[in-house]
Amino acid sequence: MRTTDLATGPDTTHLATAGDGRGEPVLFLHGTGPGATGTLSFASLLPALGEYRCLVPDLVGFGGSSHPQDVDAGPAPWFARRVVAVVALLDALGLERVHVVGHSYGARVALELVRRAPERVGRVVLLAAGGTPVTARLATLTDFYRTPDEAAMRALVGAQLSRGTAPHDYVRERFAVAARPEVRRSFQAAMAVGEPMPVYDETVLPDMTHRVLAAHGKDDATIGAAASLYLAQHLPNADLALFAGCGHLLQLEVPTRLGSLVREFLATSS
């Protein structure tokens, strides 16, 4: 995997790339949580999509990207800043249109891209999507920094897996990122009480006519599978896939099955 840092508006975005540089571009948007990064979120899924130009950024305030201190505390200001940076990333890469794969919080960003710049988006894959009226249970995310050690990270990740056993290397790498002071500062600022992020409900979803695949683990205890059911009901061109025996981090639990499904969805003609 190759990495670079690109100017994206007022921020810098750390970008990893994989796959065929001449293939159709696919943008991967990771979820939230202490220590979350693009590569940690999607490394297990990328081998199935080697024929695509896979673009895997760290969202602003995560990992190797900028950790700005001029953003107001609260979910909405940070969400807006991140969306601006993602659009600026497409501009910096000279890409008019990309397919988008978003997990959890990243799925919320993907929906905002569809709403704000529909002409820049091809097909959309929403994994364990946030952003619907289905309320996410985020207490385990915010509680991590009360006792920020590797055991707490193992518990946080384990709670998002159906089998409850977190991969050792994943936990170790994610904890190392979460322990960085700037990562902690950004995460806590974005999770502070403040103006909420936009919600994508029946008033806006029917206008999103892109082809969408909504996939969810049936045992997701962070954002229930009802979120993807809601999307399938209100998006006019959405397919739904539910994975039995799978939690919130479905790309870690069923990477081969999920990768095959995503590859087939992206390759199918409209």
Segments making up each domain of the chain, as ranges: 2-267
Burial pattern 227-246, b for ≥16 Cβ within 10 A else e, equals bbbbbbebbeebebbbbeeb
pLDDT of residue 91: 98
pLDDT of residue 143: 87
Task: Check if the beta carbon of residue 59 is closer than 8 Å to that of residue 67.
Answer: no
pLDDT of residue 116: 95
Whole-number Å distance between alpha carbons of 68 and 137: 26
pLDDT of residue 269: 57
Place of tokens 């990243």: 106
Q: Which residues are catalytic?
A: 104, 220, 248
DSSP H helical ranges for the chain: 38-42, 75-92, 105-116, 139-143, 150-158, 168-178, 181-190, 226-234, 250-253, 255-267
Whole-number Å distance between alpha carbons of 15 and 193: 29
pLDDT of residue 236: 98
Q: DSSP 3-state assignment of 119?
A: helix
Residues 6+ apart with CB under 8 A from 208: 111, 114, 115, 118, 235, 236
Residues of the chain with pLDDT under 50: 270
Check whether domain 2-267 has CATH 3.90.650.10, yes or no: no
Whole-number Å distance between alpha carbons of 122 and 133: 25
pLDDT of residue 270: 46
pLDDT of residue 139: 65
